[in-house]
C-alpha cells in the first residue's frame, strides 16, 4: 500500500465547531481518520494545520521534508484560508482596499512552486478542491462583534460576494490540477449534489461538520480506484517515453 502524506488546513486537520460551547474543536471523526481506519484503511499521515495558507503549507512541507521523502503520494488541500479577509479591518474601514490573506496571483504561484518541487522529488500528487461555503452562515459568523452594515457595504450590499470570491480560488485549484495533469478529488460536487449542503457545514458556514467529513471520506474512497488507475497509466506512459 502506498504511503500517503496529507498537507492541508483546518478542514483536513478535522476542526469543527463545538455547538454547545460555540467554539472550534477537533473531531476524531474527521475524514482523514475515517480513511485511516477500518478494513480498507489507508497508510495516511496527516500534517495539516489550523489556519494554514498555501504559504504556510510550503513551510510545513519543508519542515517535514524527511517524512515527505518517505511518502509516495502527496495529497494537497489549500485555498479556504487564502481566500479569507481581515474582517475587523474591513468593518473599521469599509471604503478602503482590503486584500485576502493570499492574493489569487500569489496563491497560484505558490501552489505551482509546491507542485514543481514535489514533482522534482518524484512524488505522486493528488489535489482536493474546496467544499462550498454557506455565505449567509459565514457572514453571520465573521461579523460577530463587528459592524455588519459596514462589512456588507464593502461586500457591495450582498453576502453572496463571499461565495463568488471563494469560488475563484476553487476554480484556480482546478485549473492548476489540469495544467499539471494532476488527479483532483471533487469534494465540492459531493456537497453541492445534496439538496441542502449547508446541513453538512458547521455554524461558521465553511468548516464541514462530522456528517460533512463523512461526505469527504466517501468522495475520496470512491475516487481512489480511478486515481490509482490514472497514476499507473501515467507511469507506464512516462516509462515508455
Instruction: Write down all domains in the chain, each with its CATH number in brackets.
Output: 3-234 (3.40.50.1110)
The predicted-structure confidence for 86-130, as pLDDT tens digits, reads as follows 999 999 999 999 999 999 999 999 999 999 999 999 999 999 999
Residue 37: pLDDT over 80: yes
Note the pLDDT of residue 237: 37
In degrees and rounded to multiples of 5, residue 19 shows phi and psi of: -70, -25
Instruction: Note the residue count of the chain.
Output: 241
Residue 169: pLDDT over 50: yes
Note the pLDDT of residue 234: 54
pLDDT band at 231 (very low <50, low <70, confident <90, very high): low
> Pick from 8, 7, 63, 14: which is nearest to 213 by CA?
14
Of all helices (H) and strands (E), which one includes residue 236? Answer: helix 210-240
Runs of H (alpha helix) within 147-209: 148-154, 160-179, 187-192
Q: What angle do CA 131, 91, 205 make, to 5 degrees?
A: 20
Which SS3 state, helix, strand or coil, does residue 230 take? Answer: helix
> Pick from 197, 157, 210, 180: which is nearest to 14 by CA?
210
Instruction: Give the C-alpha separation, 200 to 191, whole Å.
Output: 8
Note the pLDDT of residue 36: 93
Instruction: Give the C-alpha separation, 123 to 128, whole Å.
Output: 16
DSSP label at 131? Answer: P
Residue 232: pLDDT over 70: no
Cell digits for 146?
463587528
Residues 6+ apart with CB under 8 A from 194: 200, 215
187-201: average pLDDT: 97
43 forms bridges with which residues in the sheet?
3
Amino acid at each position: 500500500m502506498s504511503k500517503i502524506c496529507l498537507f492541508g488546513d483546518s478542514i483536513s486537520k478535522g476542526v469543527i465547531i463545538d455547538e454547545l460551547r460555540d467554539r472550534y474543536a477537533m473531531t476524531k471523526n474527521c475524514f482523514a481518520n475515517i480513511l485511516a481506519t477500518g478494513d480498507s484503511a489507508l497508510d495516511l499521515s496527516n500534517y495539516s494545520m489550523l489556519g494554514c495558507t498555501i504559504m504556510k503549507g510550503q513551510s510545513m512541507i519543508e519542515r517535514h521534508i524527511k517524512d515527505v521523502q518517505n511518502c509516495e503520494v502527496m495529497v494537497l488541500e489549500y485555498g479556504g484560508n487564502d481566500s479569507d479577509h481581515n474582517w475587523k479591518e474591513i468593518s473599521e474601514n469599509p471604503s478602503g482596499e482590503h486584500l485576502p490573506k493570499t492574493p489569487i496571483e500569489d496563491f497560484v504561484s505558490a501552489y505551482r512552486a509546491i507542485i514543481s518541487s514535489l514533482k522534482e522529488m518524484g512524488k505522486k500528487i493528488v489535489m482536493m478542491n474546496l467544499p462550498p461555503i454557506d455565505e449567509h452562515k459565514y457572514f453571520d459568523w465573521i461579523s460577530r462583534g463587528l459592524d455588519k452594515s459596514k462589512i456588507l457595504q464593502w461586500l457591495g450590499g450582498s453576502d453572496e460576494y463571499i461565495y463568488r470570491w471563494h469560488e475563484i480560488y476553487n476554480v484556480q485549484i482546478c485549473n492548476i490540477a489540469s495544467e499539471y495533469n494532476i488527479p483532483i478529488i471533487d469534494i465540492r460536487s459531493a456537497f453541492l449534489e445534496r439538496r441542502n449542503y449547508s446541513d453538512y457545514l458547521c455554524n461558521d458556514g465553511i468548516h464541514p461538520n462530522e456528517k460533512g467529513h463523512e461526505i469527504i471520506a466517501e468522495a475520496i474512497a470512491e475516487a481512489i480506484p480511478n486515481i490509482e488507475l490514472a497514476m499507473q497509466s501515467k507511469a507506464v506512459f512516462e516509462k515508455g517515453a
